[in-house]
Chains A and B, each alone.
Chain A
Amino acid sequence: MKLDVESLRTFSSLARSGTERAADSLSVMTDIPTNVEVTKLDLATTDDVTEEFEQHDYVSIQIRCEAGLEGVVLLTFERAVAADVVEHLIPESMDATADGMARTSLEELGNVMVGGFVDGWADYLGTAIEFTTPTYVETENPVPRPDADALVSEDHILVFRNQLRMDDTNEQFLLYMFPTRRSLARIRDAADTGGERFPIEKFATFEQMITDGAHQASADLTSMTGLDTGVEVSRLSFVPIDEVPLIVDDDHRIGVVMEFTGPLSGYLAILFDEQSANDVVRALMPSLGEGDAVDAATRQPAIQEIGNIMTSGFIDGWANSLETTIDMSPPQYADDYGPAILDPLASRLARQQEHAFLIDTIMHTPDADFTCEIYALPDENELQNVLTDLSPAQY
């Protein structure tokens, strides 16, 4: 299958407005004010999706859409969040802990939200979209798996991964849509602007390059600190530029940001939560004991040093794969709210582009006590040039 960037913009806009309508439907039905935070279009393998579900204790409502927009929608909650939602759905006089009642109320919620989600798509396509009766799905039985007709290449799918947050409780949940290849092609053709179409394999090759870089950065982090980290997530997404700061939560992050330039330029942030940053500092400075406090003056040079090494690991492989040189600015220390660190990077790109290709990587230790996130934002036009130049041998 081939896609152009303009059709990605169309998919993204439709997903945004659909998710806003779904959030409004939830707000009205439950009295829980709900905001749309991020509407991402991810390039993923079916295994990526399955793994994400296996790693969480999720409950989902599954609905299959037919006619104009074909595919599977999953409204997915962490189990504890689902329980909170159910309490709002069921009148006090009824037993919210009764399994059947809880499931039925969540299914009804799924029905209303998906009705909101598909409305905008139906308007755009000028056709009605039908959907099936909702069904309740738990992670282990079975793990939701996209259908074969969602494959856009041998092993990749495009997933709408929409993140919503409830105001009062600050709890987050997800609305996934796995569209079929045929549906995507129909919307692409309706949006046709004559832009260059790239075989999806080119995006997949680029995504593999990112994953290789993530594994190298993780290996470098492990060899420098002794912390046994592995890559949990490494993906290429397409996201509205103003949503980029919200891909991280409001918590405090410590790390580095830098700019890369060359045939592919853009911005990179390597971020740790406070505890993980202190773990890095203690690992790099053996004179500090496990319980010793880490002061800001000690932390900054240590984090800049690890940031420098991890950046090289992450980006050097890109330069090799693309047979070019990518220069990097010295890492600048960041110690602030997560979104405040990312907003200057997004604002720089927002001067020229409405959406961004976002590379996000999460690595952690097996117990998940230690976490590191890497976000990269390449220039949209330059990434298109890179895709144009990728030779068939590279994908």
Chain B
Amino acid sequence: MNREDFIKNFMSRYEKIIESRSNDDFEVNLGQMTVFAELVSIFEKMTQKYDGKLNIEKLEPRREHGWLSAELRYFDVPFDELPRFGELLKSASAFGIEPKNGGFTISVTVPNVYVKKEKS
């Protein structure tokens, strides 16, 4: 199986698992959701400043993790926001930059913005 087939196969199985879950079984994890919201705010400002496009995809409880991406030609973190940006990165599980369409897509994944409700 080549890499492409593996990813297709994996994603198909992954989506089946997600579909088998109910959103009602999950609740917001405030700490991680706050991190995600702050990152959204930083990326929103960047896309406005550099005429980019912000995507927040498939944010729903049963998926647990928050993923955002921004299509940009340039990205810079203002000096006064850099320490906080570093702190936010510590709560991320993935951070990537991929060249695309003359610019690039920058993406961040914040894990566990939703968590499974504890059974009472």
Are A and B part of the same complex? Answer: no
A residues with CB within 8 A of B: none
